[in-house]
Structure 1
Amino acid sequence: MREKEEMTGIAPLSSPKRQPPTVRLRRLAAELRRLREEAGLTQAEVTEKTDLNLATLYRIETAKTKPQLRTLNALLDLYNATGSRRADLVALQKEAKQRGWLHSFEASLPDQYTALIGLEAEAEQAINYESLFIPGLLQTEDYIRAMICGVRPAATDEEIENRVSARLQRQALLEGDTPLHLWAILDEAALLRQVGGVSVMRAQLKHLTQQARRPHITVQVIPFSAGAHPGMPGSFIALKFAEDDFDVVYIDSMAGDLFLEKESDIEMYNHMCQHLRAIALSPADTAALLASLSEDH
């Protein structure tokens, strides 16, 4: 059906929900784009030097399709990719269809959100800035449920429970021998909003305080006294996969979720992260603030 649509330009009247790309397919696509750019080639020049057409190359580089092994080898030959880098990309191609626990939730969650979960699962580090919510990986179950009910008043009980379960599954990233290193920065407003009521917020603040003591989790709060700051327009998650700058930035908004992968965008958010960490309370002062707010509750 998809091939017919591409040939005729006529979309089918209805079709099943397209599965989002796996994290491995997204990483393969990103690496192939990076290799092409390092080789100084445009997409048009690649199509001239290979048997690929422009549409196929576009779909490969945007993770909309998995390249066949012979196609991947042709691209790697053109880009002069050798050694471990080539071997890693071939391995990604073979594993590109693999899905984890998220598979059971894909039909009920937005594509971009499931893509975030997949990327997050393979990241080494994450910075999560939130202006109005407690960061998702640090939320209690009661807070999650109250937040989803408030933000999505038309959601069914099943949709709510699916989202609650998916978020709790995400939090497993903070456990185990090699947990995700999380740097959570949140505006003071997120601590004062009574999501779920007093008892829910009391438990949430206690949980946040406990999590902030763990060696792989850093929590900082930007106090109201800091005034206007670069994070006020909205929340984001910056994911890092290796010992370099962040590779992907995820933005959640009412207009839709968005992934930023351009070098200029990544650089801008790296600078923003540095600025937000600088104006926020230190982790020690944040712990003192959390303790004070817990007592107030």
Structure 2
Amino acid sequence: MATRRHPTARQMRVGAELRKLREAAGLKAAEAASLLGVNSTQMSQIESGVAGVSEERIRRLAANYTCADSELIDALVAMAGDRTRGWWEEYRGVLPAAYLDLSELDHYATFRHDVAVTHVPGLFQTEAYARALFAYMNPECPENELEHRVRHRMQRKVIIEGPDPMPYETVIHEAALRIKVAGQAEFRAQLVRVLELSEADHVTVRVVPFGLDDFAGAGSAMVHLGGLVPSLDTVVRDAPHGTAFVESAAQLEHFRKLFRRVREASLDSERSRDLIHQLAKEL
């Protein structure tokens, strides 16, 4: 059984979901291993994403786990069987793994919902804005690595600007639209770019204004990526130790509710565009 040195977040998710199914069935790892004719170490490698798993083995495990969720099993089969090497692989060993994992999750997502509080969402950022942001947050970053980060961020936009864009909705706090990450001219160009993208049929932009009463959602920044089935959704959050990928059913439901609350507090699309346009005129 071939093993991977650096499994991606998507590969680890397949293993994690198989482990959840096993635990729900009340079986030990050794018992599951015997169903596949492998040892406990190999079973551990499958459940950690270090080793791949075939469609036949996924379906055999599901049958023995008495899992009746055929849509979930079909989705896991599709995820396990995809051998696509996406554009992000050119950054393997160049940028932190979390950058590549997010790009991969973006590529396969069925939708994306963002809440942005202090910065313009990454998918909207101009090159000048992204460069200024990376340079400030990583002052010791070598120039060549800084350029890799900027170029990677620009390439990620393919999911909303490419030939097959996904549905994308973002709620942006007014703070992110006022903090001048770049110079005045560059920042005005950034706001204009947000306005341009907000006109696309597959993009929804809503703004939470400063003057809103009873808004305690300043800590709600997130990226919510839709999976092939809802139980395979992923929420991505920045954490003190780095990027955190949230996958448990309870936490996913918590962040779905949080996104709905923030969205309900925001202005509608038309009023949001009016506010952004006014902010751009003030520069």
What TM-score comes out, normalization by structure 2 length?
0.86
Distance in 2 between residues matched to 1:202 and 1:147, nearest whole Å? 15
Distance in 2 between residues matched to 1:216 and 1:89, nearest whole Å? 27
- Tell me: CA distance 1:217–1:255, structure 2 relative to 1, closer, same or farther (3 Å): same
Q: For residue 116 of structure 1, report the CA deviation from its aligned partner.
A: 1.3
Residue among 138, 141, 145 paired with 1:152: 138
Residue 132 of structure 1 contacts residue 189 of structure 1 at CA under 8 Å; is this kept in 2?
Answer: yes
Distance in 1 between residues matched to 2:39 and 2:107, nearest whole Å? 33
Residue 43 of structure 1 contacts residue 54 of structure 1 at CA under 8 Å; is this kept in 2?
Answer: no
Q: Which amino acid aligns with 1:223?
A: P
Residue among 113, 120, 143 paired with 2:99: 113
What TM-score comes out, normalization by structure 1 length?
0.82
1:117-143, CA deviations, whole angstroms, 9 ceiling, x for partnerless residues? Answer: 101111011111111110000111111
**Identical counterparts, % of pairs:** 28
Which stretch shifts more, 97-106 or 193-202? Answer: 97-106
- Tell me: CA distance 1:92–1:242, structure 2 relative to 1, closer, same or farther (3 Å): closer
Q: For residue 54 of structure 1, report the CA deviation from its aligned partner.
A: 4.8
Would you say 1:178 and 2:164 are equivalent positions?
yes
Would you say 1:164 and 2:171 are equivalent positions?
no
Q: For residue 53 of structure 1, report the CA deviation from its aligned partner.
A: 4.8
Distance in 2 between residues matched to 1:92 and 1:181, nearest whole Å? 21
Residue 236 of structure 2 contacts residue 243 of structure 2 at CA under 8 Å; is this kept in 1?
Answer: yes
Residue equivalent to 2:84: 98
Unaligned 5+ segments in structure 2 are none
Would you say 1:21 and 2:8 are equivalent positions?
yes
Distance in 2 between residues matched to 1:86 and 1:267, nearest whole Å? 21
Distance in 2 between residues matched to 1:293 and 1:88, nearest whole Å? 44
Distance in 1 between residues matched to 2:254 and 2:71, nearest whole Å? 30
- Tell me: CA distance 1:232–1:153, structure 2 relative to 1, closer, same or farther (3 Å): same
Please state whether the residue corresponding to 1:252 is helix, strand or coil: strand
Distance in 2 between residues matched to 1:211 and 1:178, nearest whole Å? 15
- Tell me: CA distance 1:191–1:89, structure 2 relative to 1, closer, same or farther (3 Å): closer
- Tell me: CA distance 1:151–1:86, structure 2 relative to 1, closer, same or farther (3 Å): closer
Residue among 41, 50, 53 paired with 2:26: 41
Residue 230 of structure 1 contacts residue 276 of structure 1 at CA under 8 Å; is this kept in 2?
Answer: no
Residue 220 of structure 2 contacts residue 258 of structure 2 at CA under 8 Å; is this kept in 1?
Answer: no
1:166-213, CA deviations, whole angstroms, 9 ceiling, x for partnerless residues? Answer: 111100111344311111111111111111110111000000001011
Residue equivalent to 1:9: none
Distance in 2 between residues matched to 1:85 and 1:293, nearest whole Å? 45
Distance in 2 between residues matched to 1:126 and 1:107, nearest whole Å? 26
Q: For residue 241 of structure 1, report the CA deviation from its aligned partner.
A: 2.3
Q: For residue 98 of structure 1, report the CA deviation from its aligned partner.
A: 3.2
1:190-229 to structure 2, matched below 5 A, reads: 190-227=176-213, 229=215
Residue equivalent to 1:66: 52
Residue 246 of structure 1 contacts residue 270 of structure 1 at CA under 8 Å; is this kept in 2?
Answer: no
Distance in 2 between residues matched to 1:114 and 1:195, nearest whole Å? 24
Q: For residue 231 of structure 1, report the CA deviation from its aligned partner.
A: 3.4
| Number of aligned residues | 280
Residue 209 of structure 2 contacts residue 267 of structure 2 at CA under 8 Å; is this kept in 1?
Answer: yes
Residue 29 of structure 1 contacts residue 63 of structure 1 at CA under 8 Å; is this kept in 2?
Answer: yes
Residue 19 of structure 2 contacts residue 47 of structure 2 at CA under 8 Å; is this kept in 1?
Answer: yes
Distance in 1 between residues matched to 2:72 and 2:198, nearest whole Å? 36
Distance in 1 between residues matched to 2:114 and 2:108, nearest whole Å? 16
Unaligned 5+ segments in structure 1 are 4-16
